[in-house]
Structure 1
Amino acid sequence: MASILDHARITVLEQGVGLTQAGILEVLQLPDDEIEAALQLAHEVRMRWCGPEVEVEGIVSLKTGGCPEDCHFCSQSGLFSSPVRSVWLDIPSLVEAAKQTAATGASEFCIVAAVRGPDAKLMKQMRDGVAAIKAAVDINVAASLGMLTQEQVDDLVSMGVHRYNHNLETCQSYFPNVVSTHTWEERWTTLKMVRESGMEVCCGGIIGLGETLEQRAEFAAQLAQLQPHEVPLNFLNPRPGTPLGDRPVMDPKDALRAIAAFRLALPKTILRYAGGREITLGDLGTRDGLLGGINAVIVGNYLTTLGRPATADLELLQELKMPVKALSATL
């Protein structure tokens, strides 16, 4: 009987059709001695349907901490004893962060706020901040501000925000174990409005929250149904003071299986290395993922955790002969 990788070589590599949920699960269940073959196939799929370029992005937090939601992995919740407390970033600092991001060669700068959804103060801060960035530096501006109303979606479009990030975090069946202050369906509604507005949809989540392999496959299949432009793939970095603070770091072999599986589920989507890859995979694993389906990275630090130096990622891309996607190629 043909293996799942043989099947994927025909349907995914040759035809560009992502695996079904059952097929994704089979990849997640592959034995250790088949991980390398799965990553190699995922790399071929990435090269065939996305090309060799890597999209580089920097992120900055406009409002950090004090969030009213109870996402169990997040140290920015005001409901937990984690040490992050509410801080606002001023416009000059926001512009400087955008300039520093552009200086790395990045084409994307994402403004993030730890909120359930934006209020009038935050929307004004966004309007002023985006205008100041666009006047000072040539870079695409993305945003991640939680759940939106239709009016807020329209406002972001008018500001010139071209991509909106709103992660589903995990599959629909496991979501209530991770968040209780809002629903998976509420997030899905925001994503539908963003897609219909013409903004690009950036939607991913976190692997290693305690979900089963079956639920991990469910999550990848639900993302494939959404068809986002980009999927940021995070691995849980347990934060002190959060309900998931005592969870073990994910096994790196399981992380690599997940990278391959998500690429084979989403052959034409930007698959971005995001938070937790350093603690989960280290330098060697980061290389394996870039040769296993990943075609975008967040450089520098994350919202509340440290990342690899931007120079380390850029040097690795140069070594692997993977060109950084130019700004003109993302417009």
Structure 2
Amino acid sequence: MTAQATGTDILDVAREQVLERGVPLTHEQVVAVLRTDDDRLEDLLALAHEVRMRYQGPDVEVEGIVSLKTGGCPEDCHFCSQSGQFTSPVRSVWLNIPQLVRAAEQTAATGASEFCIVAAVRGPDERLMAQMREGVAAIKAAVDIEVAASLGMLTQEQVDDLADMGVHRYNHNLEAGRSYFPQVVTTHSFDERLDTCRMVKESGMELCCGGLVGMGETIEQRAELAVQLAELEPHEVPLNFLNPRPGTPFGDLEPMGSSDALRTIAAFRLALPRTILRYAGGRELTLGDLGTRDGLLGGINAVIVGNYLTTLGRDPKEDLALLDELQMPIKALNETL
């Protein structure tokens, strides 16, 4: 039975279980949190913020991202305008090494400690791996910033190569819970994604693994994603909110409401008390300025600044000013090692 069914308040349960003992919420408990009424939202966010402060502290990790290879991806992720299978207006573009270095320098100038190189591919071929080797070396020679990567599904040899290059964190999202995944992607499986995530963890690189919400999943399936991420124990979870892209199968979905988005942030924090929880794509559309503030006071402790891969983000100066106002210091580079 749920906490509500037994007459026990789910926030009281979460306070004792997560805040006091550090034990993540179960699937059933996450569902109960996602079903809390709007008049409990302020209390829920305050509890999630307490959990964040106890287990993560006040610092916020800031990251910038750039697309090394944009568009023309063979996969059919239904939310993504970079798929070559859809009519979305994203053309295939490759960056050169000087452009990568310049983007890394611009990211470092915001105070960010991490720069993530992303490519729209099923997995990297030798051309992409060669460009990564050259690009990572050039970035490390030019600027003091950690380099992360997101290049799709990997072989063991590619995992080892990236670790040898000095890539310290690899992003590969689950995207959706196992039960809803076939409604989101048909060209590869949930288990193929898990295989890459497990190899990354075993390599010693940090694993960044999150997903998207607001793609038509049920509350139970949203909770399933949170719990399956908790089972994987990534170093970081980027939380994306669907920003419907024209020409994609999910292009006509309505964006998630702000209250549901904030409930989701709090629920993920209570399911992942010791994990970095990062604002990623879609927050500008779903939450706006006020909601962005509420999320930072409701469990979020990392942000991507600037633009995303195919959508515009907030001006980095706005995010940095908000962090300063909230007295949330940017995590120093040496604290991310």
In the alignment, what sits opposite 1:137? 143
In the alignment, what sits opposite 2:121? 115
Normalised by the length of structure 1, the TM-score is 1.00
What RMSD over aligned residues (CA atoms) do the two structures have, in Å?
Answer: 0.4
Shift of 1:16: 1.0
Task: Indicate the SS of the match to 2:207.
Answer: strand
Partner Cα separation in structure 1 for residue 30 and residue 64 of structure 2: 30
In the alignment, what sits opposite 2:193? 187
Is 2:262 the partner of 1:256? yes
Task: Indicate the SS of the match to 2:239.
Answer: strand
Is 2:167 the partner of 1:169? no
Partner Cα separation in structure 2 for residue 44 and residue 7 of structure 1: 14
1:4 alignment partner AA: I
1:272 alignment partner AA: R
In the alignment, what sits opposite 1:302? 308
Shift of 1:2: 2.5
Where do 5+ consecutive residues of structure 2 fail to align?
A: 1-6
In the alignment, what sits opposite 1:233? 239
Partner Cα separation in structure 2 for residue 16 and residue 101 of structure 1: 34
Partner Cα separation in structure 2 for residue 261 and residue 223 of structure 1: 12
What is the total number of aligned residue pairs between the two structures?
Answer: 331
In the alignment, what sits opposite 1:265? 271
Is 2:51 the partner of 1:41? no
**CA deviation vs aligned residue, 1:94-131 (integer Å, no higher than 9, x gap):** 00000000000000100000000000000000000000
**CA deviation vs aligned residue, 1:289-330 (integer Å, no higher than 9, x gap):** 000000000000000000000000000000000000000111
1:216 to 203, 217, 222: 222
2:169 alignment partner AA: R
Partner Cα separation in structure 1 for residue 15 and residue 183 of structure 2: 35
Normalised by the length of structure 2, the TM-score is 0.98
| Deviation beyond 2 Å, 4+ runs, structure 1 | none
Quick one: percent identity of the two aligned structures? Answer: 76
Is 2:32 the partner of 1:26? yes
Alignment of 1:292-331 (within 5 A): 292-331=298-337
Partner Cα separation in structure 2 for residue 290 and residue 174 of structure 1: 28
2:288 to 282, 288, 291: 282
In the alignment, what sits opposite 2:92? 86
Partner Cα separation in structure 2 for residue 168 and residue 214 of structure 1: 16
Shift of 1:69: 0.2
**CA deviation vs aligned residue, 1:234-281 (integer Å, no higher than 9, x gap):** 000000010100000111110000000000000010000000000000
Partner Cα separation in structure 2 for residue 11 and residue 108 of structure 1: 33
1:132 alignment partner AA: A
Partner Cα separation in structure 2 for residue 50 and residue 265 of structure 1: 14
Shift of 1:11: 1.0
In the alignment, what sits opposite 2:253? 247
